[in-house]
Amino acid sequence: MTDAVVVGAGLSGSLASVYLARRGFRVRVLERREDPRTPGAREAGRSINLGLSQRGIVALREIGLLDALKPATVPMRGRVVHSPDGTLRFQPYGTEEDQILHSVLRHDLNVALIDEAEKQGVEFHWGHKVTAVDRSNPSVTTASPQGTVEHAAHLVVGADGAFSAVRTQLGRGSRTTLHQEFLEWGYKELLIPVGDDGRPRTELAALHVWPGDDGLIVAHPNVDGSLTATVFLPFEGRDGFAGLDTPARVEEFFARRFPDTPTLIPDVVEQFLAHPPASLVTIRTEPWHVTTEHGRGVVLLGDAAHAVYPFFGQGMNSAFEDCSVLDRCLSAHPDDLPKALAAFERARRPHTDVLAELSKRNFVELRDKLRSPLFLARKKADLVLHRMFPRSWVPLYTLIAHTTVPYGEALARSRRQDRLLGGLTAALTGAALAGLAHRSRGRRGRRQVS
């Protein structure tokens, strides 16, 4: 039997362990934290949720977990954009019934994946911190209260997040490319509780966005009728996290910048001041895998391989797609792990590099452009064309969120469409001007005869 060690029992690690167990590997998962299923492990008030889109859905369907998870999700049919003057505007995600996102709690999804992995025979070791990785004869050394253990394996999967210990250990003394950049904005999460009448305080079947170039809120719905709002602000400055350090300042800020939030979050001040802000990182690295001449190897996936900003909602979805693609590569090369891992990196890295760029761009879109009439007009034209030619004209957001077209191909296709749309706009503007000139000449003509 082939041994696999997965480092990290978060979303990508636990999903990877399920895929590997189903493919016949004997799988151990090593996790620094304690079992999230132990009572009290779920941090009160930090019910972080995520938007599951097509790539994540496909992976969950592949391992047969999608239907069981459905009741734990809330469908999001589009964005509700909150303006500073209090008006709301709904933008649907797509034109098809299935072009929707599903909001799910990270904790619920993680527990479901761990339960499923255990059903498949995966062994979880909690409270194990990685202290070394041997890449020449793959093994992972961990320290835990029980002592130091060396876990040898044919395949080691580093699924231990943006600050991956496996990646750091792998990079020692080797020519590893690493690009690590932090956004100058951070975030805090606030709960929009259900109303006093027990009903949601705002539309539940949508993602809510408060755009702004000096601050941005995004809120996902929860099954209990509450929503989790993520407030993105600059770290520095008077209206940044550094400046918003007293109850009076926080209160004034939300009333001024996001006037409907005090109603939605009655204890916004207390919640805001309860935790320090978290940071946002982009990680690109190369290579993702190393192999030995004996056919063993180490591979990174998920945030460990490519952490992205959350503004395209693709962090988890791309990590899940990684697991699915890795599984296909293992299936294509069943007796050749080095070939499978090389095929995985070749198939995947160019596309997650594109995703990193798109996620940066979408920060600008959410921040600045959702309020721009020109941008909105163009977005509308994009959707109208999609409705007219549902197969041949697909907006970038739709390609990313509602299909499994590889990210790089999605971008290339959207660029072609942008050029066409530019041409079309020019042609239509030209025609309109020509029409205007014609009518104008006609009027002048009439005036002359009158």
Q: What one-character DSSP code corresponds to residue 202?
A: S
Query: Counting Cβ atoms within 10 Å, is residue 194 exposed (0-12), middle (13-18) or buried (19+)?
Result: middle
Q: H or E element: which one contains 184? A: strand 177-192
DSSP notation for 97-137: TT--EEEEEHHHHHHHHHHHHHHTT-EEEET-EEEEEETTT
In the complex, minimum distance from the CB of residue 175 to a copy of itself, in angstroms, rounded to a whole number:
4
Among 3, 275, 2, 332, which Cα is nearest to 152's? 3
Within residues 39-68, the interface with a copy of itself by CB under 8 A covers none
User: Nearer to a copy of itself by C-beta: 276 or 373?
Assistant: 276
* Integer Cα distance of 228 and 217 in angstroms: 10
Task: Using the minimum distance from each CB to a copy of itself, give the nearer residue, 120 or 176.
Answer: 176
178 vs 388, beta carbon nearer a copy of itself: 178
Q: In whole angstroms, how close is the CB of 360 to a copy of itself at the nearest point?
A: 14
Quote the least distance from Cβ 143 to a copy of itself, whole Å: 17
Q: Are 40 and 90 in contact (CB under 8 A)?
A: no
For a copy of itself, the closer CB: 182 or 389: 182
Cα separation of 306 and 169, whole Å? 16
Q: Which residue has the tokens 């170039």?
A: 213
User: Least distance from C-beta 450 to a copy of itself, angstroms?
Assistant: 57
The continuous run of DSSP H or E covering 236 comes out as: none
Q: One symbol per residue from 232 to 251: x for binding a copy of itself (CB under 8 A), - otherwise; what is it?
A: ---x----------------
Instruction: Count the residues of the shown chain that bind a copy of itself, applying the rule CB under 8 A.
Output: 11
Q: How far apart are CA 181 and CA 203, in angstroms?
A: 35
> 156 with 163: CB under 8 angstroms?
no
Q: How far is the CB of 185 from a copy of itself (least distance, A)?
A: 11
Count of residues in the chain: 450
Compute the least distance from the CB of residue 242 to a copy of itself, in Å: 13
Q: Judged by CB, which is closer to a copy of itself: 236, or 267? A: 236
Q: At closest approach, how far in Å is the CB of 167 from a copy of itself? A: 12
3-class SS of residue 294: coil
Neighbours of 177 (CB within 10 A): 9
Q: Which is nearer to a copy of itself, 33 or 179 (CB)?
A: 179
Query: Which residue, 175 or 447, has its beta carbon nearer to a copy of itself?
Result: 175
Letters for 153-192 (x = contact with a copy of itself by CB under 8 A, - = none) are ----------------------xxxxxxxx----------
Window 345-374: residues binding a copy of itself (CB under 8 A)? none
Q: Which of residues 325-344 bind a copy of itself (CB under 8 A)?
A: none
- Residue closer to a copy of itself (CB basis): 223 or 281: 281
Q: What is the DSSP string of 343-411?
A: HHHHHHHHHHHHHHHHHHHHHHHHHTGGG-HHHHHHHHHHHHHHHHSTTT---HHHHHHH----HHHHH
> Residue 32: helix, strand or coil by DSSP?
coil
State the nearest-atom distance from the C-beta of 158 to a copy of itself, in Å: 18
Please report whether residue 388 would count as binding a copy of itself according to CB under 8 A.
Answer: no
Which residues, 6+ apart, have CB-to-CB distance to 444 below 8 Å?
Answer: none
| Rounded least distance, CB 132 to a copy of itself, Å | 16
Of the pair 176, 230, the CB lying nearest a copy of itself is at: 176
Enclosing H/E stretch for 223: none
From the CB of 305, what's the least distance to a copy of itself, in Å? 16
From CA 204, how far away is CA 244, in angstroms rounded?
29
CB nearer to a copy of itself: give 84 or 171: 171
Please, which residue, 254 or 311, has the CB nearer to a copy of itself? 311
Closest distance of CB 244 from a copy of itself, Å: 18
Out of 279, 331, 392, 429, the residue judged to bind a copy of itself by CB under 8 A? 279
End-to-end CA distance of the chain: 97
Residues near a copy of itself, by CB under 8 A: 175-182, 235, 279, 281
